[in-house]
Amino acid sequence: MTDRPSPFHYRRPTLRPAFIPCLALLLLTACHPETAMNQERAAAEADVAQGGRGLAKLNPSPRKAYELVLRLKDAPGDFAVVEGVAQYDVTNEDQCGHIEPATGTAARITSQEPVELRKVAEDEYRGTLYVDRMLDEDYYGRGICTWAFSGAGAMLKATGAEGETRFLTFVDAKPLTEGGAHTLYYPDAAYPRAALAANYPATGKADPADYVAELQGKLFTLSLSASEVTQ
pLDDT one-digit tens code per residue, 165-221: 999 999 999 999 999 899 999 999 999 999 989 999 999 999 999 999 999 999 999
d(CA 23, CA 31): 8
Measure the CA angle with vertex 164, ends 192 and 8; round to 5°.
120
β-sheet with 110-115: strand ranges across: 110-115, 81-90, 147-157, 166-172, 201-202
Rounded to two decimals, the pTM is 0.81
Cβ burial, residue 27 (10 Å; 0-12/13-18/19+): exposed
CA distance 138 to 169: 33
Query: Strands 201-202 and 166-172: what pairing?
Result: parallel
According to the model, what pLDDT value does residue 115 have? Answer: 98
The confidence score (pLDDT) of residue 28 equals 43
* 3-class secondary-structure state, position 67: strand
- Given a contact cutoff of 8 angstroms between Cβ atoms, the answer to whether 125 and 167 are in contact is no
Q: What is the pLDDT at residue 27? A: 44
Check residue 111 and give its pLDDT. Answer: 92
Helix (H) or strand (E) segment spanning residue 220: strand 219-228
As a whole number of angstroms, the distance between CA 93 and CA 108 comes to 6
**pLDDT tens over the chain, length 231 residues:** 444 444 554 333 333 333 334 444 334 444 556 666 567 767 776 777 776 677 889 999 999 999 999 999 999 999 999 999 999 999 998 998 878 788 888 878 889 999 999 999 999 999 999 999 999 999 888 899 999 999 999 999 999 999 999 999 999 999 999 998 999 999 999 999 999 899 999 999 999 999 999 999 999 999 999 999 986
